[in-house]
A and B are shown apart, each in its own frame.
Chain A
Amino acid sequence: MKVSFKLNGNPVEVEVPPNEILLDTLRLRLGVKGPKRGCERAECGTCTVLLDGKPVYSCNILTVQVDGSSVQTIEGIANDELGRRLAESFSKEGAVQCGFCTPGFVTTSYALVKSLHEVSDEQIKKYIEGNLCRCTGYKKIVDAIKNVISSQRK
């Protein structure tokens, strides 16, 4: 099937079978490899992308479902000023270790930071509950997000 959508602001058109998941279209067909494969079952968050601005698991959505929508991946977010600041904050705070979960975390927190300008630590933790990290113990991730939120308020 022919599917058209906006990928990081640019229109793309792909011919895919209906049973192809968005993660595979991005990674294997379009070479967009920022979203990672960690479970392929909506359990870990490494494949998170934004669909019309909202975080979703790209492993658990069919590519045909995003026809006509806008998809943002870490590649697009990294080119945005706010996204860049988030990534820098993650790096500076030590919120990145192995880095495999990080694109997913930056993507989720980009949506969070974009929509909310005042959140408590507990709320940040709630918004990132769907992204698992096995290296950091989450503390520095929460700090990295918090820093960007408070710098936005200034």
Chain B
Amino acid sequence: MYYRLPQFEYLRPNDLHQALETIREGDWKPLAGGTDLLLDMKNGRQSPKKIIDISRLSELRYVRTNDSRVLIGGGSRLQELLENVIVKEKLPLLSSAIYEMASWQIRNIATIAGNLCNASPAADSAPPLLVHGARVKLISSSGSRTVPLSEFFLGPRKTVLSNNELMGEIDVPLLEGYYYRYYKIGRRHAFTLSVVSMAIAVKIENGIFSDVRIAMGSVAPKPVRALNVEKELIGKEAKTVEITKAIDLVSEDISPISDVRASAEYRMKVTKFLLKESLQESLKYFWK
């Protein structure tokens, strides 16, 4: 008996409609899987008075696809996504990221919306989704709004989500003909928080970087795109010299800190290397 969870009122709605009606008023904290929330409650970071358990809402657990996008229900468990054929085939970056997230026990409970809404700078599902330019659908009893994921995060543990909203769906546009690479650097080889994570998608056409998408975790107050690097590269000749020039700009995109896990210096150094390596690999990939 180590921790005492604070007391709270608990409600498990029967369906999505009831859930949305309930959170219209009052300060309800959604419990999607609870894997982060309960930890926060144990260490006193959060102490919600009312918890609404949305983990059973089957309306929020799905993966659908058409030619241009994959739609992921926010309540989908990470392990479900890992085992999902659509995710595996169409979203290899996300699949790789989830593979290296937490442990089997946590992936069986934790949801993708929970990972995003918790808004940790180290949320590993975010970089791949940012690369895809994913949009998140925030639903409430009065309707829904769609927000680009890049605008969803405000800072460490802060998002644009209102108290009366849930993250219903993640809309992931598909990328065609890209080179992909995902990295997670941690302090051991499994079950560990990221020190740096990175997802990258590159397209080269006619010897020109026609598109470059880079997103990173644990190197800024929130998961971010490396827009300065991307902008520098797009339209340039796909050559090492351009890559070398561009990657230094990443210091404009990120602002790593030193903490108990790693120093800012290390995070910056590794970020630059991973950028260099993945971009170089992309040249080889398209050379074939």
Contacts and interface: CB of A to CB of B under 8 A. Distances in A.
Specify which of A37, A54, A60, A131 lies most central, judged by the most chain B CB atoms within 10 Å of its CB. Answer: A60
A18 B9 CA distance: 7
A72 interface: no
Contacts of B160: none
Given A18-B51, A21-B5, A40-B3, A62 B10 contact: yes
A126 B191 CA distance: 9
A112 B261 CA distance: 31
Contacts of B39: 41-42, 60
Nearest to A115: B83
Contacts of B34: 60-62, 65
Contacts of A98: none
B42 to A, nearest CB: 7
A64 interface: yes
Interface in A45-82: 45, 48, 51, 54-57, 60-62, 64-65, 67
Contact of A129 (B2, B10, B104): B104
A19 B5 contact: yes
Contacts of A67: 12
Interface stretch (B64-72, B105-113, B211-219, B248-256): B105-113
Interface in B1-56: 1-10, 12, 31, 34-35, 38-39, 42, 51, 53, 55
B47 to A, nearest CB: 10
A37 B5 CA distance: 16
Contacts of B31: 62, 65
Contacts of B109: 51, 56-57, 60-61
A102 interface: no
Contacts of A54: 79, 108
B190 A126 contact: yes
B55 A65 contact: yes
A154 to B, nearest CB: 26
Contacts of A18: 7-10, 51
Contacts of A40: 2-3, 42
B105 A108 contact: yes
A58 to B, nearest CB: 9
B105 A64 contact: no
Contact of B102 (A19, A51, A130): A130
Interface in B263-287: none
Nearest to B77: A54
B286 to A, nearest CB: 30
29 contacts: A1-B10, A17-B7, A18-B51, A19-B4, A19-B5, A19-B6, A24-B1, A37-B1, A37-B2, A41-B3, A45-B103, A45-B105, A51-B108, A51-B109, A54-B79, A54-B108, A55-B104, A60-B38, A61-B34, A61-B38, A62-B31, A62-B34, A62-B53, A64-B12, A64-B53, A67-B12, A130-B104, A130-B106, A130-B191
Interface of A: 1, 17-21, 24, 28, 37, 39-42, 45, 48, 51, 54-57, 60-62, 64-65, 67, 108, 125-131
Closest 5 CB pairs of A and B: A130-B103, A18-B10, A19-B5, A129-B190, A40-B2
